[in-house]
Amino acid sequence: MLILVGDNPKRTKSEVALAKLCGVCPIPASSGKTNRMRDHEATQCYVIKRTAQGKSKREIIRRLKRYIVREIYRELSVSSHPKRTA
């Protein structure tokens, strides 16, 4: 994901644009690796919750990837707009 952005975080105009570049836009694209689903407690709770709601494993994985992209985008946005000190 970071390779797509490179050293210029301004390349992506929004979190949605970054998600599209990373292949996690609303249209299901790839299955990805699921190790985090097995090892991360918060993710396990999320998977159980969404499975109970009738979501497919593929949709749950896509949503998890989108969440990660959202977190990365927030960090990139903060680092590309340094705070001014008076």
Domain ranges of the chain: 2-80
Q: In this structure, what DSSP letter does residue 27 have? A: S
pLDDT at 9: 66
Q: What pLDDT is attached to residue 47?
A: 93
Which distant-in-sequence residues (6+ apart) come within 8 Å of 61 by Cβ?
31, 32, 34, 37
pLDDT of res. 56: 94
Quick one: DSSP state of residue 10? G
Question: pTM for this one?
Answer: 0.56
C-alpha span between 70 and 83 (Å, rounded): 21
User: What is the identity of the amino acid at 81?
Assistant: H
Q: Digits of tens for pLDDT over the chain (86 positions)?
A: 566 666 666 767 777 777 777 777 665 545 555 457 777 898 899 999 999 999 999 999 999 988 888 888 888 887 665 555 55
Other CB atoms within 10 Å distance of the CB of residue 72: 19
